[in-house]
């Protein structure tokens, strides 16, 4: 098997009726088979079983797959096991992804099979695109520096709470001051990436391109009707609360799509602007409560950054309720469901986003600085791990 061949295997799990009783997995299978560069699609009873995992290993060899997407339960449950299993056939950990259609779709939208199926199809496409943009690396969730873009401003060093980034002269670049990331010290919060003003930093497995791709896939291709809400969710806080809400079968309005980040500090304000500019009716950022962040101060940085963004959006013409930041800890399950439902209700009162994403803006809108970086060439120059 040759890494980089971009052939994906997709496994859709019934979970013993826990999934296929609440949404149409046959339609998911059909949708998966139509996706680009998919070499194998299979629907299984229990993806986590030893027998199924052994079959995945065999399929990787038989179909020459270099990445695997498991459409099943939460990545907080079995992702590491799948990565370890598929690592035996040289499918690196970052090339294995889980699409959480059980806890965060089937179990919270169990009273509307059609809506749950539509949302699951969107989640499938988003996870597919995210995984297709992943490059094989040894360590996940760490920051990387493109030194050709780095100006040595030191902002990344100042926001890193783990002493993982240092600015120092680079002999290979004429002694210019550049950022250096110690990947062994990096905890993967992504705060430095969102703070970088020159797009010199990015994060493995949660890159700018991957996040934007998920947003575009959802907002431009969904069959979900109004409203369409983008929710950025912290892996350690609100994403955990969402999983528990599914476990408790707490009914939630399906008109939202969660995009997971390791920390709310990773959420770039430009993502919010981008989502609204391409048709999102509202954007919700869910951070942990200040003082209770897994990364100690990540949500404090989020609060400062998003407060400024809220003021900016109002100045450029967006209704202030098109964007909201709320604080949800992992154990605040009822608060999570209430926040989601109340925000969707608030956006319903506002009506559809008045911005037409197809409108030609004059003068030509300045795009985000990293959008001109081609995926296959982003780190060709100046990258040292």
Handedness of CA 110, 113, 115, 117 (dihedral sign): positive
Numbered ranges of CATH 3.40.50 in the chain: 8-136, 222-373
Judge residue 377's burial from the number of C-beta atoms within 10 Å of its C-beta, 0-12 exposed, 13-18 middle, 19 or more buried. Answer: exposed
The answer to whether 244 touches 200, Cβ cutoff 8 Å, is no
Largest CA distance in the chain: 63
Kindly state the tokens that stand for 118: 């539509």
Distance of alpha carbon 183 from the chain centroid:
21
How much is the pLDDT for 280? Answer: 94
Beta bridge partners of 282: 229
- In sequence order, what DSSP letters do the residues of 71-133 get, joined into one string? EES-HHHHHHHHHHHHHTTT--GGGEEEEE-IIIIITTSTT-HHHHHHHHHHHHHHHHHHHHT
Q: In terms of Cα–Cα distance, which of 224, 241, 359, 352 is closest to 289?
A: 241
CATH 3.30.70.20 occupies which residues in the chain? 143-203
Query: Rounded to 5, what percent of the chain is helix, strand, coil?
Result: 40, 15, 40
Interacting residues of 64 by C-beta distance below 8 A, sequence separation 6+: 1, 2, 5, 7, 39
State in words which class domain 143-203 has: alpha beta
> What pLDDT, on the 0 to 100 scale, is given for residue 277?
87
The two structure tokens encoding residue 186: 């990096």
Distance CA 197, CA 179 (A): 13
Structure tokens at 298: 């990540």
Question: How many alpha carbons fall within 13 Å on the CB side of residue 40?
Answer: 20
Quote the CA–CA distance of 21 and 48 in Å, as a whole number. 18
* Topology of domain 222-373, CATH: Rossmann fold (3.40.50)
The pTM score is 0.87
pLDDT given for residue 311 in this prediction:
77
Token pair 């037409």: residue: 356
Q: Please give the sequence-ordered ranges of beta strands (E in DSSP) within the chain, or none if there are none.
A: 8-13, 38-44, 67-72, 96-100, 143-145, 165-170, 176-181, 201-203, 229-234, 256-261, 282-287, 323-327
Kindly indicate whether the domain formed by 8-136 is annotated with CATH number 3.40.50: yes
How far is Cα of residue 127 from the mean position of the Cα atoms in its chain?
8
Q: Residues 25, 11: contact at Cβ < 8 Å?
A: no
Coil vs helix vs strand at 18: coil
Residue ranges of the chain with per-residue pLDDT less than 70 = 1-5, 93, 138, 356-385
Report the pLDDT value the prediction gives residue 384, as an integer from 0 to 100: 42
């Amino acid at each position: 098997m040759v890494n980089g061949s971009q052939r994906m295997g997709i496994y859709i799990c019934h979970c013993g009726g826990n999934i296929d009783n609440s949404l149409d997995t046959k339609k998911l299978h059909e949708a998966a088979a139509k996706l680009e560069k998919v070499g194998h699609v299979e629907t299984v009873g229990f993806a986590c079983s030893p027998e199924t995992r052994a079959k995945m290993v065999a399929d990787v060899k038989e179909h020459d797959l270099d990445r695997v997407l498991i459409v099943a339960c939460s990545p907080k449950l079995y992702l590491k096991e799948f990565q370890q299993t598929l690592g035996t056939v040289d499918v690196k950990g970052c090339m294995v992804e889980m699409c959480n259609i059980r806890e965060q779709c089937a179990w919270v939208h169990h009273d509307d099979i059609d809506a749950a199926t539509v949302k699951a199809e969107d989640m499938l496409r988003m996870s597919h695109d995210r995984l297709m943009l992943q490059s094989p690396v040894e360590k996940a969730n760490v920051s990387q520096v493109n030194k050709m873009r780095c100006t040595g401003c030191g902002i990344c060093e100042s926001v890193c709470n783990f002493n993982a980034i240092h600015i120092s002269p680079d002999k290979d670049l004429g002694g210019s001051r550049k950022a250096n990331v110690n990947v062994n010290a990096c905890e993967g919060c992504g705060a430095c990436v969102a703070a970088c003003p020159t797009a010199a930093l990015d994060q493995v497995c949660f890159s700018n391109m991957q996040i934007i791709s998920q947003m575009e896939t959802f907002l431009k291709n969904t069959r979900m009707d109004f409203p369409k809400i983008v929710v950025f969710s912290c892996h350690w806080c609100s994403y955990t609360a969402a999983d528990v809400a599914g476990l408790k079968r707490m009914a939630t309005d399906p008109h939202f799509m969660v995009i997971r980040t390791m920390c709310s500090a990773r959420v770039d304000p430009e993502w919010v602007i981008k989502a609204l500019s391409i048709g999102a009716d509202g954007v919700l950022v869910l951070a942990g409560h200040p003082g209770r962040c897994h990364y100690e101060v990540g949500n404090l940085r989020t609060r400062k950054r998003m407060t400024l963004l809220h003021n900016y959006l109002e100045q450029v013409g967006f209704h202030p309720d098109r964007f909201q930041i709320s604080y949800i800890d992992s154990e605040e399950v009822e608060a999570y469901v209430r926040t989601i439902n109340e925000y969707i209700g608030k956006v319903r009162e506002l009506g559809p986003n008045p911005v037409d994403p197809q409108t030609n803006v004059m003068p030509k809108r300045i795009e985000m600085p990293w959008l001109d970086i081609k995926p296959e060439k982003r780190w060709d120059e100046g990258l040292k791990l």
